[in-house]
Amino acid sequence: MWFDLGVVGGAGAMAHDAARSLGDQPPLWRQMEEGRVGQEIEKSRFAMLLGDFAQAREVIASYVATGVGGYALCELAFAFHQMTGDTELLGTVTSALESKEDRFAAVMARGVLAAAAGSLDAALACWREARTISPGHPDPVLFEARTLFRMGLVDEASRLFQALAAPGLDIPDAIWNARLCALVRQPASPPPGAHVEILVSFHKPHRVIEHPMLRPIHVGKARSEVDLGFAGDDQGDNISSMNDRYCELTAQYWAWKNPSKATHIGFCHYRRYFWFGLELSLPFAFSVPYTRFSVPRRRVDRFDVRFPVEITTRLIAEHDIVVPRPLELLETVREQWSQHHPGALLDLVERVLAFRDPLDGTVAREVFDGTRMTPFNMFVMRRELFEEYATWLFGALFLLDEAGMALTGGPMAPRMAGYLGERLLNVFVSRKRRDGARVLEAPMVTLL
């Protein structure tokens, strides 16, 4: 076995050194903040985020031809490979880095190539070599832990993930991956009768991801001119006709008001899913300018949900609430809202919550003045807790909607209730966390 207690202890003590050494090998988002990434890198980054992979590939290849090197370029090639599965461009970048004798970046790129080809022993050798070149850098440790997991060496992988989860490191998936290792190491059946159903909101034709837990639903079907071929939110007690304002919340209302056999109910989107598997989220800038960390992305035609139902059901059933890992904003939730929507509206929400329950008002103020936000109205909750949440959420939103009609003679602006729902979800989860609810923050993935 490669690890011993001394090595593992060294990995644990690595946290401080790794945080300090990020100044020597800064990840891409830090370099962007400090103005050290070229215009062409920026151009290729935005092309990738928009799903224009042909342009991104062309720009990266042409930029490599100018002789640029460094780990920032390596990270960009990693992200491109992660999204598309393209190994040819990664090979070009690897060769360019090796010709410049950019040893750390070249070894890291060579390891990704080996792992993509299924040569896990060769990949493992690269990660270990990279650790000797830059002992404090966390990326080789993260890649090594993932490779060990793929090789079935879960105990060894778990120790490294736990080391990376130490305070002070910007490794957003380390805690999640360590938790997943623990589940695999100690398999157990989910509670008897546990049944998870995650509704996937669609409003237009798109690939339907097949998985026993996922159930597509056509949101706003009462207003739609197309038939997506599956059930909509317009049956039974519903607000489907209000989808222009309430967005995916019309599916949540429908699930609240209509019977289900699910013991745990959740919601995601046709291009945003929970990812209940091992994750590697490179520090690659998110598609909007107000966050520090990325949401991992995949090209839709190569995305496959492979998480085992039994392990995932057990993972969800062990918690009261599952939400996407919060985004780390560059400003407060209130400031970010005010840049895009009327600031007075969020202040009104806070006052309405405080009027209904003073503690809710206190929690709302803390959330809105904080810098962490769980996005996209995505979650999984125990059925009883979901019903409590829906009663609370729609009670507040309908009150705001009625107040708006009384003041202006018209309903909320398009999509506004959906946007408010995102912030209200954070208030509810924070309140329940105070009350002792078991909350799990899981990775998510965006499909391009």
What tens-digit pLDDT sequence spans the chain (448 residues)?
Answer: 122 222 333 333 333 333 333 334 444 434 444 444 456 667 777 788 778 889 888 888 887 887 777 787 888 888 888 888 888 998 998 898 888 778 999 999 999 999 989 999 999 999 999 999 998 888 899 899 999 998 999 999 999 998 888 776 657 678 888 888 888 888 778 889 999 999 999 999 999 998 999 999 999 999 999 999 999 999 999 999 999 999 999 999 999 999 899 999 999 999 999 988 887 655 444 445 566 666 777 778 877 776 788 889 999 999 999 999 888 888 999 999 999 999 999 999 999 999 999 999 999 999 999 999 998 999 999 999 999 999 999 999 999 888 876 666 677 889 999 999 999 999 999 999 999 999 999 888 888 8
Q: What H or E segment, with its residue span, contains residue 31?
A: helix 28-33
Instruction: Single out the residue in 129, 154, 185 at which a domain terminates.
Output: 185
Instruction: Single out the residue in 155, 185, 215 at which a domain terminates.
Output: 185
Residue with tokens 């209940």: 276
- What is the rounded CA–CA span in Å between residue 399 and residue 277? 39
What is the DSSP track for 74-123?
HHHHHHHHHHH---HHHHHHHHHHHHTT-HHHHHHHHHHHHHHTT-HHHH
**Amino acid residing at 313:** T
Number of separate domains in the chain: 2
Query: Around Cβ 355, how many Cβ atoms within 10 Å?
Result: 11
What is the DSSP track for 291-319?
BSSPPPEE-GGG------HHHHHHHHHT-
User: What domain range is 177 assigned to?
Assistant: 5-185
Instruction: Single out the residue in 185, 218, 252 at which a domain terminates.
Output: 185
Report the DSSP pairing between strands 379-382 and 264-269: antiparallel
* CATH at 204: 3.90.550
CA proximity to 294, closest of 24, 29, 18, 25: 29
331: in domain? yes
* CATH at 47: 1.25.40.10
- What is the rounded CA–CA span in Å between residue 272 and residue 201? 10
- Name residue 382's beta-bridge partners: 264
190: in domain? no
